[in-house]
Chains A and B, each alone.
Chain A
Amino acid sequence: MSDTATLSPPEVDSPPESPQAAVAPTPALPPTMPRRRELIFGTVFVTAGVAMGLLTLIGSYLAARDAAGAAWLADNQLALTQPNMQMLTLAMSVVTMQWAVWSICRDDRYHTYLALGVTMLLGIAFVNQSTFLFKEAGIAITQPEGPLFYAVTLGHLAMVIAGLVFLLLMAFRTLGGQYSSRQPDGIGAAAVFWYAGVALYAVIWFAVYIQK
């Protein structure tokens, strides 16, 4: 981590507020003790910002669709097969992602790698399905619905791709021995970002595809 070598030890239960407690020196800790949860906290904040952006885009999409009425996407076919399969794919990836978190917390490296691999495979399948859906729908960026439709869907696709890169990086770090039951933060952080991506897709799936 950024400054793990020099900084103070992780938080413990606070002592009573007394003068004696105020000067009781704590034992020196190993200099390489990593900071717990730093990456998770950072990821939570970034995820919140990204989620807020996507929710704003979805809100704008719904407002524009509401204003357009029946004319919205009247010239395009948005079949539900692909969005449903995409939702199912991401739902399965939640299970495999949690499998990776569960495994690393038990130092089960074999299953961690396997779970991360399957999660990435499902993520890549989602990306593939998305490109197919875009071709099938045939929505042009120049038509009135185009910018909003692609802002929402491509924005989310970018989030999924960022999640895949995050997962890949964490998988390499796990291979390098950086994460274990003592320090599972990297996998946990990637999981937080991934779950948020899946939750946001659930909103898009319902608001954009189901409700059309």
Chain B
Amino acid sequence: MTLTDTRSSSDTPPAAAGSLSPTALERAIGTGEHEAIGRTFIMGSLLLMALSAGALAAGALRSLSNGGPLDVTDNLWNSALVGMVLMGAIPLLLGLAICLVPLQVGSKAIAFPRAAALSLWTWLVSAVIFAISLGLDGGVGGADLEASRLGMLSMGSMMVALSLGAVCVATTVLSHRPVGMSLARVPLFSWSMLVAAPIWILTFGSTTAHVFLGQISQANAAGLALRYEAGVAWFLRAPSVYMLAIPILGISCDLVAQGCGRRIARYGTVQALIAMFGVFSFGAWTQTSGGRENILWIAFVALAAVPVLGLLGLIADTLRHRKPVVSPGLVGVLLAFLLLLGGMLAGILEALNTTGSGTLFSFEAVGLGWAQSLFLLSAAFIGGLAALSAWSRVVLRASAPGAIASAAIAAGLIGGGLLATVFLIQGLTGFGLSLSFYNVWVAVAAAVLALSALLGLMLALVTSRGHARQPATAGAAGLTLEWAQDELSPEDQALVMRTIVASPYPLLDFRFTGEAVEEDK
């Protein structure tokens, strides 16, 4: 950590003109600016999400061409899912957090900027290596031993890199807050990241240990596949997979408050509910044999729905009091919430099935388990896209074109929703996955999800190049500090940054106290 205790490049004076000035590539690689790091994370994750979803579609088509059932133990299927989580959803949310969280807490830089940059480049290089290993019949559970070792190693590297990024974000929330911003007044996206970061770090710490074990053991390719299934795959299933959605809760509340121009009521309760969801998403203990078939697992999965429903009520209450300014971001995050509820429903059904196994219910636990994972994964991805669209003026420095944002979110909803629904139906009805219909369904859904990621990438590229610059939407003024740079004059920004924070919505406070600001001027 200590190597990072230097000034970020944002604080350094520009280099003298001449041969010593860094090139664009050197600037891109060497930057410690959190916004640049976050943007690269976002764009890389969208591209790799498209690749992963494409691999999933290819896996389903391969099963179809072989005339066999949809094989959820296939290495292409498992690697694509790992890719969608570690190369798509989590880096997308982490990139948004690296970009936004310092601004939300009124800081000009992230904690340990060089560690954040290290996190980005380690993740990116590892993700590329993972994709190459998959191409060599490796990835996770592949038939080629060396390629599988490479795949497992790069997966572990991605986990370590993402954990490092999470450390930077959580430390920023804890130690970079301005005067008056106690933890009870931290904006909700930052709060949700503070809850998510330790869960990600602990979960990835545990899975990385199994990757390490796999590397030093003398296992063959089949042994490595077993190591993955026994020691790593649990993080893709409930309750661990809920950790993907923790930031979505914060994003939802922030975007609804902003859309309505109104404070979220019972702020402390909202924070407590997000923290509660975080607690119930800690699932490292389920890696033991029988870990998914006991009362504790049932309690975790069932109780995780309580904070989600509570937050839904508080969001509905806010929307009831004032009609929101409708934007693709707001609609997208509400749809992500819908998918999250789908995941919770699948979880409760599986918990009921486990409770009354053989007597009351006879659902297919495997199908319900996959349905949960895919609902949660889709919710995280669509929530990330919605957040990117809603915060585009902060993250990408221009307004995102509404048409592309809407198309990306809609495609994500259709793709992710269809992908999860096929397993929900399979879990409820017990139909085997041998029907070729399922292969076609999954291939189409995964292809639409890949299209959604590509549209998201297009959104980021087009917006960041400034081709879609538009005036701010009337009535959708920001409430929290990340909007200060976009909406206030430099003098007012300086004043806001020197002001004691008195509520979770400092910019709203600032607008309500305009007279005092005039006096100061």
Real binding pair = yes
| A23, A41, A142 pick with most chain B CB within 10 angstroms | A23
Q: Which residues does chain B contribute within 8 Å of A25, judged by CB atoms?
A: 495, 498-499, 520
A186→B170 CA distance, assembly (Å): 18
B182 beta carbon closer than 8 Å to chain A = yes
Q: Which of B1, B175, B181 contacts A36 (CB 8 A)?
A: B175
Within 8 A of A (CB), among B473-521: 495, 497-503, 506, 509-510, 512-513, 516-517, 520
Contact between chains at B176 and A49 (CB < 8 Å): no
A49→B197 CA distance, assembly (Å): 11
Contact between chains at B1 and A43 (CB < 8 Å): yes
Q: Which residues does chain A contribute within 8 Å of B500, judged by CB atoms?
A: 14-15, 21-22, 24, 26
Q: A35-B175, A37-B175, A56-B209 are in contact. Are A26 and B499 (CB under 8 A)?
A: yes
Q: Which of A3, A63, A189 contacts B107 (CB 8 A)?
A: A3
| Total A-B residue contacts, Cβ distance less than 8 Å | 197
A131 beta carbon closer than 8 Å to chain B = no
Range of interface residues on A (Cβ < 8 Å)? 35 or more
Q: A2-B7, A2-B8, A42-B167 are in contact. Are A169 and B499 (CB under 8 A)?
A: no
Chain A 44-72: CB-based contact to B (< 8 A → 1; otherwise 0): 01101111111111011001000000000
Within 8 A of B (CB), among A1-32: 1-12, 14-26, 28
A33 beta carbon closer than 8 Å to chain B = no
A166 beta carbon closer than 8 Å to chain B = yes
Task: Report the stretch among A80-88, A114-122, A146-154 that lies at the interface.
Answer: A146-154
Q: Which residues does chain A contribute within 8 Å of B113, judged by CB atoms?
A: 2-3
Q: Closest CB of chain B to A26's CB: distance in Å?
A: 5
B205 beta carbon closer than 8 Å to chain A = yes
Q: Closest CB of chain B to A148's CB: distance in Å?
A: 7
Contact between chains at A19 and B512 (CB < 8 Å): yes
Contact between chains at A45 and B197 (CB < 8 Å): yes
B392 beta carbon closer than 8 Å to chain A = no
Q: Which residues does chain B contribute within 8 Å of A12, judged by CB atoms?
A: 179-180
A189→B506 CA distance, assembly (Å): 32
Q: Closest CB of chain B to A160's CB: distance in Å?
A: 17
Chain B 135-171: CB-based contact to A (< 8 A → 1; otherwise 0): 0000000000000000000000000000100111011
Q: Closest CB of chain B to A118's CB: distance in Å?
A: 21
Contact between chains at B213 and A41 (CB < 8 Å): no
Contact between chains at B5 and A2 (CB < 8 Å): yes
Q: Which residues does chain B contribute within 8 Å of A161, judged by CB atoms?
A: none
Q: Closest CB of chain A to B9's CB: distance in Å?
A: 11
A141 beta carbon closer than 8 Å to chain B = yes
A202 beta carbon closer than 8 Å to chain B = no
A138 beta carbon closer than 8 Å to chain B = no
Q: A2-B111, A2-B113, A7-B109 are in contact. Are A189 and B513 (CB under 8 A)?
A: no
Chain A 162-176: CB-based contact to B (< 8 A → 1; otherwise 0): 000010011001000
Q: Which of B168, B181, B284, B503 contacts A56 (CB 8 A)?
A: B284
Q: Which residues does chain A contribute within 8 Å of B179, judged by CB atoms?
A: 8-12, 26
Extra A-B contacts (14), CB below 8 Å, given A2-B5, A50-B205 = A2-B6, A2-B109, A3-B7, A3-B107, A7-B109, A8-B106, A21-B180, A26-B500, A53-B208, A54-B209, A56-B209, A56-B284, A60-B209, A147-B213
A: residues with CB less than 8 A from B are 1-12, 14-26, 28, 35-39, 41-43, 45-46, 48-57, 59-60, 63, 141-142, 147-148, 150-151, 155, 166, 169-170, 173, 186, 189
Minimum-distance CB pairs A-B, first 5:
A52-B205, A3-B109, A49-B205, A56-B209, A8-B178
